[in-house]
A and B are shown apart, each in its own frame.
Chain A
Amino acid sequence: MMFYREAARDGGAYLAFRGVSVTVYLPIAELSVNIFIILGMGAAVGFLSGMFGVGGGFLITPLLIFYNIPPVVAVATGANQVVASSISGAISHFRRGTLDVKLGSVLLIGGLAGATVGVWIFSWLRRLGQLDLIISLLYVVFLGTIGSLMLMESLRAMRRAAKNQPVTLKRPGQHNWVHRLPLKMRFKKSKLYLSAIPVIGLGFGIGILTSVMGVGGGFIMVPAMIYLLRIPTNVVVGTSLFQIIFVTAYTTIVQAATNYSVDIVLATILMVAGVIGAQYGVRVGQKLRGEQLRALLALLVLAVGVRLAIDLIITPADLYSLQIGGGRG
């Protein structure tokens, strides 16, 4: 330090900056990006999330990674963005009375615990140098599975609708192993008498995914609540959104505190574009039929999954990668 101070004196030089542009510097990601691309991404994902009633984290995070935002920042910032996109949805469900606060709170207990463990796993994987791989693998597995299931289900529903048969969701057997577990609780709004264990367990699992993948987890939680816990469909979306708000908010704070990886500039651009896009998405979504909507969403989910899978399988352009900092290997 002594040396720097001694040598600090002025001489003659000049600096030239290139002309004004549309780039914006992301202070945490530490790179400059084109603001219109980020706005476009936010608006497009917002539009889709409004149309399909999903948080959009599962689209935003991979898109940011495709745009060379470090996965560490993409995941943490994705979680922050989901907070904004879930709130307006949860508010409207609360107004309509399709939100079970008690059920949501029990889910939340599991969710917060899961998010804590998830952030710990996240930091550990980052140290190992396997974080990017695990994030991609998780996305491929979850997007592939959920996308295929949704596509099959919606195609079956569309075929039935074409034959003029009534569209009903299959509910095989009223009770399964889940309903034989102890610690039962009564959830009035959902008209359910259900063990707290699978609810907390589900919240826990989704909480881990929120931390590691930067998603709200609605695309996994909603089917799990319907098919596994037999929660009435009308309260499922509102309740999952309610839980997602708090888990993603908590994850944002914990990621900020442990990995310093939430980029507020990036998050704000995404959020503002996202909530506006969502409004138009909702309008378009109301004009489409349920099974068509689900088929479209399934195709989208599969496309993102396939794209990530291709990146894992094809020979990378450079087998080597570089990480700065992080102390002695």
Chain B
Amino acid sequence: MRQFLLPLVRHLLMASLLALPVTVAQAQGLPGALPPVKEGLEIGTSTTEIAITSDFRGADLTVFGALTNADELFLAIGQYDVVVSLEGPRDYATVRRKERVFGIWMNTQSMTFEQTPESYSIASTKPLADIQPVAQLNRLGLGINHLTLSPTGYLGNAAQLTDFREAYRRLKVGGGLYQNDTTGVRFVSSSLFRASLRLPANVPDGVHLVHAYLFKSGVLIAQKDLPLRVVKTGLEQAITDAAHEKPLAYGLFCVMVAVVTGWGASLLFRKD
């Protein structure tokens, strides 16, 4: 019986709410009314560090969060939307386009974008376009298709810019570095949510940032950020450090390994 009734109640609530924004606006406009309680957003990750081990095949990061001072009514009808993103370290990115020159495909044109995140994973309660108008998403730089991609240096014509931006996004999504999950954020109780973000196997190391955004009826009302460090561990880190900080010694070491391997083999397999 309850199961039968529940959708019905929800429908009724929805119907009554269509008229609600008007009354709320009027209520807020009245002098002497109680100041509206501001909703808050809390998020947490138990670890601030993800280790890239030698058998690293990517990782799942779950971000838990809670809405504080949430309006029961708005919660019940799903007027709160949460978007959680994980942005990798930023660097310049150059997109190149091949053209056929004398029968051979070669890079002829290129465009470099300012400081874009190397990886980007985003999860939301519903498709971003249903949460915010496109112009607003572009302003926030929220979502794979709305990230700010500003080219450096001389700019060709605008049509090219669109092509190169599209190519950049397509390549990033194709390579698994940019991911989008429009149902990745789930409410586990009325005000508690859980977001699942996937870190691909080729995730860059460095400081990543978890951003959480809370929207109420399409208005951004709260935002929280948390850093997440992705580090190479043990041997992997030692090797990367050595290669970049003591490149000469590292090079010599590589040669030594080769000499020992080659020499060792000739001793080991000596016929006499």
Chain A residue nearest in CB terms to B46? A13
B62 an interface residue at 8 Å Cβ cutoff? yes
A24 an interface residue at 8 Å Cβ cutoff? yes
Which of B48, B55, B168, B227 counts the most A-chain CB atoms under 10 A from its CB? Answer: B55
**Do A324 and B253 contact each other (CB < 8 Å), given the known contacts A12-B46, A16-B59, A18-B57?**
no
CB distance from A253 to the nearest CB of B (A): 4
Q: A329 contacts which of B112, B168, B170, B232 (Cβ < 8 Å)?
A: B112
A129 an interface residue at 8 Å Cβ cutoff? yes
**Do A11 and B111 contact each other (CB < 8 Å), given the known contacts A252-B255, A315-B105?**
no
CB pair B258–A267 under 8 Å, yes or no, is yes
CB pair B105–A271 under 8 Å, yes or no, is no
CB pair B257–A130 under 8 Å, yes or no, is no
CB pair A328–B153 under 8 Å, yes or no, is yes
Q: B93 contacts which of A21, A91, A268, A324 (Cβ < 8 Å)?
A: A324
**Do A4 and B227 contact each other (CB < 8 Å), given the known contacts A14-B62, A88-B265, A129-B107?**
yes
B16 an interface residue at 8 Å Cβ cutoff? no
Q: Which of A79-87, A147-155, A207-215, A297-305 contacts B (4 or more CB under 8 A)?
A: A79-87
Complex alpha-carbon distance, A91 and B265, angstroms: 11
A166 an interface residue at 8 Å Cβ cutoff? no
**Do A133 and B106 contact each other (CB < 8 Å), given the known contacts A13-B44, A14-B46?**
yes
Interface size on B, residues (CB 8 A): 83
Chain A residue nearest in CB terms to B239? A27
Of the four ranges (under 10, 10 to 19, 20 to 34, 35 or more), the interface on chain A belongs to 35 or more
B226 an interface residue at 8 Å Cβ cutoff? yes
Chain B residue nearest in CB terms to A14? B62
Proximity bits, B210-227, A CB within 8 Å = 1, else 0: 000000000000000111
Q: Which of A96-104, A107-115, A221-229, A272-280 contacts B (4 or more CB under 8 A)?
A: A272-280
Where the two chains meet, the residues of A that have a C-beta atom closer than 8 Å to any C-beta of B are 3-4, 7-18, 20-21, 23-25, 27-28, 30-32, 80-81, 83-88, 91-92, 129-130, 133, 137, 249, 252-258, 260, 262, 264-265, 267-268, 271-272, 275-276, 278-279, 312-313, 315-316, 318-329
